[in-house]
């Protein structure tokens, strides 16, 4: 009874702190508003959103405490009930994200990728809803944006404009239109509520996260709030997004010419684009996780998986300028426009939504490449050395390696060629580790540089897409990561070489590396042959 009373006291504290903070959050947003109408709107919407947050948090907390009360740890009954509570709570959180919209949906999308940190029920519920079922702005709201940004209605600016969006995301929705010269375009329109409530939502989410951290010290997501405060204004600037797409394509042409034609970003119509409206070339393609649609295009999902791994490895390890939101709705696949090779259609990736990019400085880029090289080649010393350089510390580098690979340490350093491939039976083991080491994982995420946290998010997105394409990351995926990361490390050493002797040493290292990669590739081929013969 004492424990239950203590829990109730905690829940009341959360409610009181959240409600009390509502006035402060609302007042802050209103004081910083230049639009009196928006300020008045905020003064009514912010308290409602805060109360909604508090009610949802209290409901979830009570459900866990009441439903699991008295059930012994490790019992089948407790596990059954816990699964039910996880599912109910995930649905409550999903409803809260949809009702509040904006930043909350971004949080829901992030939760959908945290397989190593939250129960699978939350991951699955958020993944099924947060990418393609976001709230839609009304046509009146779309008109409002057009009039403010371009001074006229869509039917005046375009020859045709479909008022029904083809897609809606957390920050914007997309309409199909046709220009006066007959070009089919995609028009990305920012949701009006994003600018109306963004600052207040920052304050609200920060309040909730800080309050939860005070009550439950092991629950520390303050780093996530800080990251959102920094990255979201950039995502809300569509002109910045357009510039990112151009820089990304230029990097592929300069630094990764071998695959440059296999990666594409839609052309931007600059004369029709503003910070809240983005008009782009319309691209018809299949979503990157839609195997059936990809096969209808005459493309093999395994080829898409390899190209996806190659493209993002190049961005991370060679470009240092990384698209950090490659979830399924942001990447399309189409046949390579230049034609097929020996009658076989090759895929081209079309990257959408260039709002969230991160720069890796040269030192961090090479350390990150060296870490992945060590992971692929089971080099424990390299893993430890570069994990420490990236901020994990000598006490949590093993955990860091586990989060990156979704494998326990004994598998990470196993010399077997397939040591990093996650089997279907490993999922329950991963969830057990996540639950067992939750405080350490939270500490690690708070310790790592935010740019590395975004690399983790990118890895999680890519892992989810690869799972849809081929079941799980394949040996070929890790071979690609090993090759590109190794090339980046060798290139860096050659650039830093100041003597002939040093260059000779690096060339010899490169020779040994090529031999090792050849051995790895041969092992991959043999395992594929063995698998084919046993089918």
CB contact at 8 A, 272 and 321: no
Asked if 316 contacts 326 with a C-beta cutoff of 8 angstroms, the reply is no
Which one, of 333, 336, 327, 338, lies nearest residue 350 by Cα?
333
- Sort strands 347-351 and 263-264 into parallel, antiparallel or unpaired: parallel
Using the structure block, give the residue that is written with the tokens 């709570």.
Answer: 89
Residue appearing with tokens 């947003």: 29
Q: Is 325 a catalytic residue?
A: yes
Measure the CA–CA gap between 191 and 168, rounded to whole angstroms.
9
CB atoms within 10 A of CB 436: 10
How far apart CA 367 and CA 360 sit, in angstroms, is 10
Cα–Cα distance, 179 to 156 (Å, whole number) = 10
3-state SS, one letter per residue, for 395-451: CCHHHHHHHHHCCCHHHHCCCCCCCCCCCHHHHHHHHHHHHHCHHHHHHHHHHCCHH
Nearest to 428 by CA among 219, 71, 38, 120: 120
Residue 446 in contact with residue 220, Cβ under 8 Å?
Answer: yes
Sign of the torsion angle spanned by Cα atoms 239, 240, 244, 246: positive
Q: Which residues are CB-contacts of 347 (< 8 A; sequence separation ≥ 6)? A: 262, 294, 299, 303, 304, 307, 333, 334, 335, 336
CA angle (231 as vertex; 229, 233 as ends), nearest 5: 80
103: Cα within 13 Å, side-chain hemisphere: 25
Distance spanning both ends of the chain, measured CA to CA: 58
Q: Which of 53, 196, 201, 325 is catalytic?
A: 325
Tokens representing 114 are 């945290």
Q: Per the structure block, which two tokens stand in for 368?
A: 């990150």
Exposed (0-12), middle (13-18) or buried (19+): which is 455, by Cβ within 10 Å?
Answer: buried
Among candidates 372, 366, 386, which has minimal Cα distance to 494? 366
Contact 475, 419 (CB under 8 A): no
Q: What is the dihedral of CA 120, 121, 122, 125, to 10 degrees?
A: 120
DSSP string, 51-96: HHHHHHHHHHHHHHHHHHTTPPTT-HHHHHHHHHHHHHHHHHHHHH
3-class DSSP state of 231:
helix
Annotated catalytic residues are 325
């Amino acid at each position: 009874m004492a424990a239950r009373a203590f829990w109730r006291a905690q829940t009341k504290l959360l409610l009181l702190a959240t409600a009390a903070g509502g006035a402060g959050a609302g007042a802050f947003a209103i004081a910083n508003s230049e639009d009196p109408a928006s300020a008045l709107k905020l003064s009514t919407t912010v308290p409602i959103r805060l109360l909604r947050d508090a009610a949802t948090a209290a409901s979830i907390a009570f459900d866990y405490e009441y439903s699991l009360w008295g059930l012994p740890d490790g019992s089948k009954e407790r596990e059954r009930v816990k699964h039910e509570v996880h599912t109910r709570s995930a649905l409550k959180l999903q409803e809260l994200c949809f009702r509040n919209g904006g930043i909350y949906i971004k949080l829901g999308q992030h939760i959908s990728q945290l397989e190593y940190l939250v129960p699978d029920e939350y991951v699955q519920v958020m993944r099924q809803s947060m990418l393609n079922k976001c709230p839609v702005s009304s046509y009146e709201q779309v008109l409002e944006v057009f009039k403010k940004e371009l001074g006229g209605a869509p039917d005046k600016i375009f020859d045709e404009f479909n008022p029904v969006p083809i897609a809606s995301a957390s920050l914007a929705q997309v309409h199909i239109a046709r220009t006066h010269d007959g070009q089919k375009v995609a028009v990305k329109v920012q949701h009006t509520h994003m600018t109306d409530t963004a600052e207040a939502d920052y304050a609200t989410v920060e309040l909730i996260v800080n309050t939860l951290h005070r009550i439950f010290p092991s629950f520390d997501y303050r780093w996530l709030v800080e990251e959102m405060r920094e990255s979201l204004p950039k995502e809300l600037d569509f002109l910045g997004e357009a510039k990112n797409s151009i820089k990304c394509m230029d990097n592929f042409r300069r630094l990764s010419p071998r695959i440059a034609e296999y990666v594409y970003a839609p052309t931007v119509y600059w004369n029709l684009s503003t910070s809240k409206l983005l008009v782009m070339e319309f691209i018809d393609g299949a979503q990157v996780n839609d195997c059936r649609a990809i096969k209808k295009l005459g493309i093999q999902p395994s080829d898409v998986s390899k190209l996806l791994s190659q493209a993002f490895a190049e961005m991370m390890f060679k470009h240092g300028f990384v698209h950090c939101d490659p979830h399924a709705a942001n990447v399309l696949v189409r046949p390579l426009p230049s034609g097929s090779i020996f009658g076989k259609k090759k895929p081209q990736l079309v990257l959408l939504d260039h709002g969230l990019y991160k720069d890796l400085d040269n030192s961090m880029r090479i350390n990150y490449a060296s870490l992945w090289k060590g992971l692929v080649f089971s080099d424990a010393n390299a893993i430890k050395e570069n994990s420490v350089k990236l901020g994990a510390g000598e006490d949590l580098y093993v955990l860091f390696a586990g989060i990156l690979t979704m494998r326990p340490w004994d598998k990470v350093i196993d010399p077997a060629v397939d040591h990093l491939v996650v089997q279907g039976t490993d999922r329950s083991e991963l969830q057990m580790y996540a639950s067992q080491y939750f405080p350490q994982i939270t500490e690690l995420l708070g310790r790592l540089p935010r740019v590395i946290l975004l690399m983790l998010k990118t890895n999680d997105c890519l892992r989810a897409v690869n799972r849809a394409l081929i079941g799980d990351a394949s040996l070929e995926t890790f071979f690609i990561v090993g090759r590109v990361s190794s090339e980046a490390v060798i290139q860096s050493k050659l650039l830093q070489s100041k003597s002939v002797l040093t260059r000779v040493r690096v060339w010899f290292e490169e020779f040994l590396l090529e031999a090792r990669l050849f051995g790895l590739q041969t092992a991959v081929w043999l395992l594929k042959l063995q698998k084919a013969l046993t089918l």
